[in-house]
Amino acid sequence: MNKIIIILMAAMTVCATATAKSKSPARKLINRLCDLQKRGTLIGHQDALFYGTTWKWEFGRSDINDVCGDYPAVLGCDLGGIEHGNDRNLDGVPFDKMREQIIDFAQKGGIVTISWHADNPANGGNAWNVDAPAVAQSLPGGALHAKMTQWIARTIDFIKSLKDSNGRPIPVIFRPWHEMTGSWFWWGTPHCTAKEYQSLFRMVVRQFRKARIDNVVWSYSPGADAHDTPQRFFNAYPGDRYVDMLGFDIYQYNGPEEFVATCRLDLKIMHDYAQKHRKLYAITETGYRNTPDEKWFTNVLRPAYQGFSPCYVLLWRNAWDQKEENFGPAPEKSCAEDFRLFHKDDATLFLNDIRN
């Protein structure tokens, strides 16, 4: 086989995923991500445009931009609280401002990913409240099904309202029920069976499809584990018809060696599956709380995915109201200089690299 055919085949294997219809906004985003993936890895930041370590609600600002004069390429947002029809999400971000920022960011060429820390529908506690099992009862026939259907409908209303100035739907990556391999969320592994989890995930996708929403790229993202295996990673996988993008959430808790090794282990699991099943893959959340290692971005994070091609890496949020809840760079942090080097790396893509 000649070289050109091999290159074409490699490009094709990652570029078609099953869930989105051709020409839909979701399909266009999938295709765009496939193309961008060949150029490098998009760098994202959760809540980047809403607040930073020392400021809040100054729209147009971003800690990453304050550090390196460029915005992240991926904006992460969370819908926690929308299920109740609240005005603000669980971290105080007003949903109307979130919508405004998403639209503006997407029109500039930025890519948006959305998570959902939904409350526990069984007892009204938050997403981390595991005192009352809720998954089985949220499924068709269950006592919480009507409530869950309404909750999902509220996420649909928000995502449906994301339209550009020409009225075209803005595509987003949605990753509901994330980190299901852990025990901390009410939808986590010990609180339901894998089958029940799959049904819950599929229920969301089906409800979106029934509402004819075609701007969602679906993401399945377990929590990373140092002893991961494909069996564990895919234990709760809802199936190729319901997922476009694989991902995992990983934080550095111990030494950098463990972080890098776990990252590479899970990247390999995702890469192998993605190649065969034509899926995208990403590092859907990461960071080292408070970034005590001033070279973390170039010495740890970059080597952790070197040689793989995750389409994006999303740093978790820089909370303005919790001193150590920061995972991205900020001007006053000792990792700022290192982040400027990370930004200069040809294989890291920021907003200026992908602008419309």
Q: What residues make contact with ligand BMA under the rule CB under 6 A?
A: 78, 80, 90-91, 117, 317, 325
Minimum distance from residue 188 beta carbon to ligand BMA (Å): 14
* Tokens 């971290």 found at: 91
When the beta carbons of 130 and 269 are compared against ligand BMA, the nearer one is 130
Minimum distance from residue 90 beta carbon to ligand BMA (Å): 5
When the beta carbons of 63 and 78 are compared against ligand BMA, the nearer one is 78
- Whether residue 151 contacts residue 83, with contact meaning beta carbons closer than 8 Å, is answered with yes
Among 216, 218, 286, which residue's Cα sits nearest to residue 248? 286
When the beta carbons of 40 and 121 are compared against ligand BMA, the nearer one is 121
Query: How far is residue 184's CA from residue 189's CA, in Å, rounded to a whole number?
Result: 9
Give Cβ neighbours of residue 161 (< 8 Å, ≥ 6 apart). Answer: 99
Query: How far is residue 334's CA from residue 329's CA, in Å, rounded to a whole number?
Result: 8
Minimum distance from residue 80 beta carbon to ligand BMA (Å): 6
Minimum distance from residue 100 beta carbon to ligand BMA (Å): 19
Minimum distance from residue 196 beta carbon to ligand BMA (Å): 24
Please state, in angstroms and as integers, the Cα–Cα distance from residue 42 to each residue in 37, 167, 172, 236, 326, following that order.
Answer: 8, 26, 15, 27, 20
When the beta carbons of 119 and 338 are compared against ligand BMA, the nearer one is 119
Minimum distance from residue 312 beta carbon to ligand BMA (Å): 18
When the beta carbons of 325 and 345 are compared against ligand BMA, the nearer one is 325
What 8-state DSSP symbol labels residue 312? E
Query: How far is residue 320's CA from residue 322's CA, in Å, rounded to a whole number?
Result: 6
When the beta carbons of 136 and 330 are compared against ligand BMA, the nearer one is 330
**Cα dihedral across residues 59, 60, 63, 64: positive or negative:** positive
